[in-house]
Amino acid sequence: MRLDQFVSESLDLSRKDSKELIRKKEIKVNNIVITDSSYKVNINDEVFYNDQILEYEEYSYYILNKPKGYVTSTSDPQYKTVLDLMDVKGKDKLFPVGRLDIDTTGLLLITNDGALSHELLSPKKHIDKTYLVKSLNELSDSDILKVKNGIMMDNKMTNPIDIKRIDSLTYEIVISDGRYHEVKRIFEYLNNKVLELKRIKMGNLSLPDDLKEGEYIKIRDKEIEGIR
């Protein structure tokens, strides 16, 4: 990769500004000042700006706290999409991993890493997804027991479902297969109804408590490794 591209992507600068830094002798590669923007950076090179080592990440990962009213796709003729909430470089290559319904809020992973997305959505990979549910009616102990071992959905048993009462109308539910409208259908099966649904965890990734709806944070390659 060219040095100006490396600097621009790792410092989130325009190509013009990164060329300017290089020209001003502020960038070193392996302790040598390089003023040629077209210099080719190799995988083992260490690039420094002000003696700070620059990390280059091939892929980007964000956790977005999805608000209601946004669809989980990259474009939509009718609704705003979750990408409309993001203002980041390389946005045109980003996409959401998996789906949340338009009225569901909470943790959504947004990335440009197609292989990760493919992996996480594979039916063989059982990633735990934790939701907070506000329900219309209280669940009985027998309702809770009924779903624990999984229920029949689309002629196939779901994986075991973990569900616990937080208060009379609030439940934490953990599912590991991502059937269409799965949580809502579990509550319908119990002759109940989901009034509010928020995803708070996906694998080892948790929705940060201080991340408001509509906000997002960038996460590092290393943090994503756990979910793999």
Residue 95's nearest CA partner among 69, 122, 77, 121 is 121
By CB under 6 A, is residue 101 in contact with ligand URA?
A: yes
Name residues contacting ligand URA, limited to 13-52 (CB under 6 A): none
- Give least dist CB 201 to ligand URA, A: 13
Size of the site for ligand URA (CB under 6 A): 8
User: CA quadruple 199, 136, 148, 123: dihedral positive or negative?
Assistant: negative
Please name every residue paired with 109 in a beta bridge, in sequence order, or none if there are none: 63
Which one of 41, 85, 183, 202 is in contact with ligand URA (CB under 6 A)?
Answer: 183
Please name every residue paired with 27 in a beta bridge, in sequence order, or none if there are none: 49
Q: Which stretch in 32-40, 120-128, 135-143, 177-185 sits in contact with ligand URA by CB under 6 A?
A: 177-185
User: CA quadruple 54, 92, 112, 198: dihedral positive or negative?
Assistant: positive
Name residues contacting ligand URA, limited to 102-131 (CB under 6 A): 104
Q: Which stretch in 89-97, 109-117, 176-184, 210-218 sits in contact with ligand URA by CB under 6 A?
A: 176-184
**28 close to 34: Cβ distance less than 8 angstroms:** yes
d(CA 133, CA 125): 24
Which one of 81, 116, 184, 214 is in contact with ligand URA (CB under 6 A)?
Answer: 184
- Give least dist CB 102 to ligand URA, A: 8
Give me the residue label for tokens 């609030």. Answer: 170
d(CA 41, CA 5): 10
Q: In terms of CB distance, is 131 or 216 closer to ligand URA?
A: 131
- Give least dist CB 20 to ligand URA, A: 46
Q: Which stretch in 80-88, 120-128, 179-187, 215-223 sits in contact with ligand URA by CB under 6 A?
A: 179-187
Query: Catalytic residue numbers?
Result: 101
Q: Name the packing angle between helices 182-189 and 141-148 (round to 10°).
A: 130
Q: In terms of CB distance, is 3 or 85 closer to ligand URA?
A: 85
**137 close to 123: Cβ distance less than 8 angstroms:** no
- Give least dist CB 186 to ligand URA, A: 8
By CB under 6 A, is residue 197 in contact with ligand URA?
A: yes
Q: Where do runs of H (alpha helix) occur along 2-90? A: 3-11, 15-23
Summarize as ranges the residues that interact with ligand URA (CB under 6 A): 100-101, 104, 181-184, 197
